[in-house]
Structure 1
C-alpha cells in the first residue's frame, strides 16, 4: 500500500505545486514541505478509508452468508420435524389398521360358531 500512497501523494503534489509560482525560494521551500506533509497525510487517510470500506464490505457479506446459512439450517430442521411427524402419523395409522383388521374376523368367526349339542332329556 505504500506505493499507492506514494502515487497518490505525487499526483496531489503535481496538482498543487504549479499553483505556487511567484514565491521566493525560501517561502516556496516552506510551502513545499507543508504541501508534501499534508499530501502524505491525505494519502494515508485515503488508503485507510479504502481499507476500512473493504473490511466493512467483507463483514457485511460474511454476515449475510451466516444469516442465509442459519435460515437454511432452520428450514432443514423444520422439514425434518414435519417429516418426523408425518412418519409418526403414518405409523399410528398402520397400527390402527392392524388392530382393526384382526378384530373384524374374530367377530365374524364367533357368529357361525359350532352349534351346541342338544341334550335330550328323558
Structure 2
C-alpha cells in the first residue's frame, strides 16, 4: 500500500506544482515540502477511506446474505407447514370416505310395541 500512497502523492504533487509559478527558490522549496506533505496525508486518507468502504460493502453483503438465508428458512418452514396440513387433510378425507361407504348396509328393525296394561277403575 505504501507504493500506492507514494504514487498517488506524486501524482497530486505533479498536478499542483506546475500551476504555482513565479516563486523564489526558497519559497518554492517550502511550498514543495508543504505540497508533498499534504499530498502524502491525502493519499493516506484516501487509502483509509477506500478500505473503510470495502469493509462496509462486505458487511452489507453479509447482512444481505443473512437476510436472504432467513427468508429462505421462513419459506421452507411455511412449505413444511402447508405440506403437513395437506397430509392431514388427505388422511381426514380418507377416513371420511371409509366411514361414508359401509361394507354391509345396516337394517333398521323396529321392535314390536309392548301392549299397555289396562288399568280398571272402580
Give TM-score, length-normalised by structure 2. 0.77
Is 2:38 aligned against 1:38? yes
Question: Partners in 2 of 1:9 and 1:56 — Cα distance?
Answer: 25
Which residue of structure 2 aligns with residue 90 of structure 1? 90
Determine which structure has the larger helix proportion and give its number. Answer: 1
Unpaired runs of at least 5, structure 1: 112-122
Is 2:60 aligned against 1:60? yes
Which residue of structure 1 aligns with residue 113 of structure 2? none
Cα offsets for 1:72-105 (capped at 9, x unmatched): 1111111110100110111122122223333x51
Question: Partners in 2 of 1:19 and 1:85 — Cα distance?
Answer: 78
Number of equivalenced pairs: 109
Question: Partners in 2 of 1:100 and 1:78 — Cα distance?
Answer: 33
Question: Partners in 2 of 1:50 and 1:72 — Cα distance?
Answer: 33
Indicate the RMSD between aligned Cα atoms, in angstroms.
2.0
- Give, in angstroms, the shift of residue 62 of structure 1: 2.0
Which residue of structure 2 aligns with residue 28 of structure 1? 28
- Structure 1 stretch displaced more, 2-11 or 89-98: 89-98
Unpaired runs of at least 5, structure 2: 110-122
Which residue of structure 2 aligns with residue 3 of structure 1? 3
